[in-house]
Chains A and B, each alone.
Chain A
């Protein structure tokens, strides 16, 4: 397995534009997590899915953020409209269950100008 795959690796967009981040989890993993990493706030859990169902989205900062998992092999995180304070590295991770290793993707570095 190639591991958790995220795209794009880098994204630069203008304020107000829609941004879509993509994630392909490891096959067979039931859990998928979206994290945001910044210097100030560290690694923050935004939302996670179990068997494609969103379980906890309390970490989603505001209504501009939305996430979907239409099937077991694909998830998206969308920001609309984007703002400069959304600039961060966004990681997707997957695991078999919550209490075993979560494998992280390489991340998407988002810059909103």
Chain B
């Protein structure tokens, strides 16, 4: 099955700086890579996703890049704000009914004022 590794486990950045979270996956057949944000005591919610036919996707301050050859993908958050503080999870899925989402262990992002 799929195995997703996520780094770092904790990331502390100054407000206004950028944050980068990296993930690798093992199954070359995986074709869908979502990122979820989970605030303390709440449910995970999708913030951005990317499919294997795209190398990069951007939505305002958030961007995701995918390198299929190296089997890694990254989340980039620019101009970080206090409300960005949360746990972020990457995930990979084969799609086509072959598999559910396999999540990374999560990154606790702390925005220092």
Contact = CB atoms under 8 A, between A and B. Distances in A.
Interface string B81-107: 000000001000111111111111110
Contacts, number: 57
A25 interface: no
Contact of A101 (B34, B95, B104, B106): B34
Nearest to B96: A98
A104 B101 CA distance: 12
Interface residues of B, number: 26
Nearest to A105: B43
Interface in B1-56: 1, 31-32, 34, 42-46, 49, 51
Contacts of B96: 98-99
What's the dominant secondary structure at chain A's contact region?
A: strand
A105 B42 CA distance: 9
A99 B51 contact: yes
A56 to B, nearest CB: 7
Given A42-B105, A99-B32, A104 B45 contact: yes
A50 B105 contact: no
Contact of B93 (A43, A99, A106): A99
Query: Main secondary structure on chain B at its contact with chain A?
Result: loop
Nearest to A48: B100
A102 interface: yes
B103 A43 contact: yes
B96 to A, nearest CB: 7
Contacts of B104: 42
A96 to B, nearest CB: 12
Contacts of A43: 44, 89, 103, 106
